[in-house]
Chains A and B, each alone.
Chain A
């Protein structure tokens, strides 16, 4: 059951006033334009024990994604595809407002939206990751630990997952006498496209990209749009308790395609050398 909550972050009126004044002039409190994204830093292969990993800093939001690849049973109804499972945890280190415990609805939504963006775009060709059709497939776990939360965890987490997956090394397994054996070799992941998630929020009549947590505390509504390398839309999620006009949604979707290309170039560049 999902219920309304009192806001955890109460933004000072003076700060809100400053924010609205700045937005009316096309700027934000940190000096960005309305559709500027914060500096994006990507560091690959930081968890050597994992098959792939990435640390992403989007402004002050910091996420680490780790890929672990094993073998196991396929999902029901998807017997001839590898299994891909994306999870996320907002660590209690991330902000004063997090309580340790099982994932709350915000975290569950975050993990599922990020997963959807990767899965629906078919970033990884799961058909190529089957050992014994119908019985044994490659299982790819991507787990994210959000270390510091300063807004737009959707995009930060998505970029970490994409970077970790694209730069991972898949151990090559084979069947010997009915048992799964690791050959000792590894292969590049079968990547078909690079999905990019772009999140925007509405404050008053303005739509701004890549919000900080302070801006999220003042938002009416939020929209996350994921595009693939063709510019097609593969996942969309509207969040928070306000509403968008149809115009705003269409404009946000259009901006997501354009900005998505910029971010895609950056993701490709960092994984190419990885």
Chain B
């Protein structure tokens, strides 16, 4: 990607007014899809994404079941009205790839050996896309998995960093994604301090790469705080522990 215009102004403000280290606004609601075992709706900048989890549940067809662990199935899909130009509803190659990396981002956190011969299905639907939708999708999917009561080693948080006007910035938006110099989505397990998704699209020097990955991880840590707070709020309100009954 060779940039054609300046995306950061002389005051250090980006196209949407943010500074280099600012995340877009994030709002998450838990338990929004009544029929699902777990679900979450996330607004990440202008991204609007719903994630629903069904599982553990029976595997159909039966021969797809694994004897010693659970099968994890992930679908990332964009609704036709979610993008600037209307998108054909049939899964595109991009959606197929993202479904795969999303599954590989979530799987390390799940204790799949606890559910042999069963399946866990994660469905992420992008209702409005605005750059970084796979990160927002993974973030919402993690919450949905916790909401569904699946045994997890850690919560997976996801955020992207990128290069814009030769500067490393956090959480790139749609314009920066399309016109900027590099885009690096990352997914991270904050307690275990391990990366479960890493992609790069663009050009980064050695120093830029290190700066970018560090920045993305800090972004993931910020995202994690929001994920944790949202789950605690939904299940426990403002309490942190169960008080004795009189």
Contact = CB atoms under 8 A, between A and B. Distances in A.
A–B direct touch, CB within 8 Å, in complex? yes
Given A48-B46, A96-B54, A100-B75, A145 B127 contact: yes
A274 B146 CA distance: 37
A209 interface: no
Interface stretch (B29-37, B181-189, B211-219): B29-37
A46 B81 contact: no
Contact size range, B:
20 to 34
Interface stretch (B82-90, B165-173, B195-203, B223-231): B82-90
Given A93-B39, A145-B127, A46 B85 contact: no
A125 to B, nearest CB: 22
Contacts of B90: 102
B83 A49 contact: yes
Interface string A200-219: 00000000000000000000
A147 B125 contact: yes
B54 A47 contact: no
A150 B82 contact: no
Nearest to A143: B80
B106 interface: no
A141 B88 CA distance: 10
A92 B123 contact: yes
Given A47-B81, A87-B89, A93-B33, A145 B125 contact: yes
A49 B89 CA distance: 17
Nearest to A67: B81
A84 interface: no
B57 A143 contact: no
Interface string A34-58: 0000000000001111100100000
Contacts of A68: 80-81, 85-86
A143 B52 CA distance: 20
A50 B89 CA distance: 15
A141 B80 contact: yes
A68 B84 CA distance: 9
B128 interface: yes
A96 B50 CA distance: 16
Contacts of A66: 79-82, 127
B14 to A, nearest CB: 19
A262 B121 CA distance: 40
Interface string A92-127: 111110011010000000000000000000000000
A63 to B, nearest CB: 11
A153 to B, nearest CB: 13
Given A91-B123, A91-B125, A92-B121, A143 B35 contact: no
Interface of A: 46-50, 53, 60, 62, 64-68, 70, 87, 89, 91-96, 99-100, 102, 141, 143, 145, 147-150
Given A49-B46, A99-B60, A141-B86, 8 more contacts: A46-B127, A49-B82, A49-B84, A66-B81, A66-B127, A89-B79, A93-B35, A149-B35
Interface of B: 33-36, 39, 46, 48, 50-52, 54, 57, 60, 75, 77, 79-86, 89-90, 121, 123, 125, 127-129
Please name the 10 residue pairs, one residue from A and one from B, whose CB atoms are nearest each other, closest first.
Answer: A66-B81, A93-B52, A68-B86, A143-B80, A50-B81, A145-B79, A93-B123, A92-B123, A95-B35, A141-B86
